Homo-oligomer: A and B are copies of this chain.
Amino acid sequence: MATHRFQPTHYHTAIGAHAPVLHIASGDTVITTTVDAMGGDASGQQVTPGGNPQTGPFFIEGAEPGDTLVVHFDRLTLNRDSGVTATVVAANVVDPSFARELPAQQRITWQLDHAQGMATVTDSGGKLDGFTIPVRPMLGCFGVAPPRGQAISTATSAEHGGNMDYKGFEEGVTVYLPVYQEGALLFVGDGHAAQGDGELNGDALETSMDVEFTVDLIRGKSTQGPRMENEEYLMASGIANSLPEALQIATTELARWLERDYKLSANESNVVLGTSIRYDIAEVVDPQVHIVAKISKAALATLTK
């Protein structure tokens, strides 16, 4: 149960079986940093090419294909005072005729007020100056080495993780990932100070971050993609080609979770889901889209007592 401090010196923009930067054990904690999506570090200086560069990979001793890697995000901390967002929504999230009227893409800067937990536009030169939203730090991209000898761009995502862009990947969440390669090979990066549902503008409030996480292993048992858990919800990711398929996968994985781990019958899990499921639309502008299905632990508790 060691705690490792790791300062990255290089980054990856494809998630694959790259040489590990650190070997850690199940139960260990890592304290490290991530650069922003454009490769900028805590000082705001670009230290690596952009495209969601990842810190890692971390080799988890004993992780074998077929296991589940458990990652608990202990702390996600803003480590500089500014972030940027793009200004224009992607053409595919508005009506095709409306897309024709969209303005040209720009980037604007936000000041991050760590004490108040707020972010404010500072340099738009117009009415937007002063626009203020709450910060809610999260990681946009992380994952493990994928199967079949593949190396997959951090522009996209799949069952192994990658560019998932879910606002729920925040401090306190526990994530379950399938292991495909020996050592799992965990990468982390792409900090967001805040993000709208769907990440419509193609990016979130992008910034560098200090990250502390703890890993664990579940042996000989694996999911078909990421699952998450926090105090309030069980959550299952549907990462897929389209929103309908993402919804299908998220719903199915949540049903499987209830049936296999909570020992509900198919009928019981269907009633729970049908009356109580909530969906978050995490990501709709990347090559793969992402819907999260979640179920309240409070509702479940009335069933299993």
**A interface list, Cβ under 8 A from B:** 13-14, 16, 51, 85-103, 106, 108, 121, 124, 126-128, 130-133, 148-153, 155, 194-201, 204-205, 240-244, 247-249, 251-252, 255-256, 264-268, 270-281, 284, 287-289, 291, 299, 302-303, 305
Interface pair B270/A103, CB less than 8 Å apart: yes
A26 to B256, CA, bound (A): 51
Interface pair B194/A249, CB less than 8 Å apart: no
Interface pair A252/B132, CB less than 8 Å apart: no
A127 to B258, CA, bound (A): 13
Count identical subunits in the complex. 4
Interface pair A241/B241, CB less than 8 Å apart: yes
List the B side residues contacting A150 at CB < 8 Å.
14, 150-153
A177 to B185, CA, bound (A): 33
Q: Can you name 10 extra interface pairs (CB under 8 A) apart from A85-B271, A100-B102, A241-B288?
A: A87-B274, A93-B248, A103-B270, A127-B264, A133-B302, A196-B274, A198-B247, A199-B274, A200-B273, A240-B241
Interface pair B103/A267, CB less than 8 Å apart: yes
Q: List 24 A-B contacts (CB under 8 A).
A: A85-B275, A87-B267, A88-B274, A89-B274, A92-B244, A92-B248, A93-B251, A96-B96, A96-B99, A108-B271, A130-B305, A131-B268, A131-B299, A133-B299, A148-B153, A148-B155, A151-B151, A196-B277, A198-B277, A198-B279, A201-B270, A201-B271, A241-B288, A243-B247
Q: How far is the CB of A189 from chain B (nearest CB, A)?
A: 15
Q: How far is the CB of A156 from chain B (nearest CB, A)?
A: 9
Contact of A196 among B99, B244, B247, B275 (CB under 8 A): B275
The 7 closest A-B pairs by CB, nearest first: A91-B96, A241-B241, A201-B274, A243-B243, A132-B302, A95-B252, A279-B281
List the B side residues contacting A289 at CB < 8 Å.
241
List the B side residues contacting A121 at CB < 8 Å.
271
Interface pair A270/B198, CB less than 8 Å apart: no
Q: Given A271-B131, A274-B196, is A241 in contact with B242 using a C-beta cutoff of 8 Å?
A: yes
Interface pair B153/A95, CB less than 8 Å apart: no
Interface pair B94/A252, CB less than 8 Å apart: yes
Interface pair B91/A275, CB less than 8 Å apart: no
List the B side residues contacting A200 at CB < 8 Å.
251, 273-274, 277
Interface pair B97/A278, CB less than 8 Å apart: no
Q: How far is the CB of A67 from chain B (nearest CB, A)?
A: 21
A278 to B102, CA, bound (A): 20
List the B side residues contacting A95 at CB < 8 Å.
248-249, 252
A155 to B149, CA, bound (A): 12
Q: Given A128-B271, A241-B287, A299-B133, is A100 in contact with B93 using a C-beta cutoff of 8 Å?
A: no
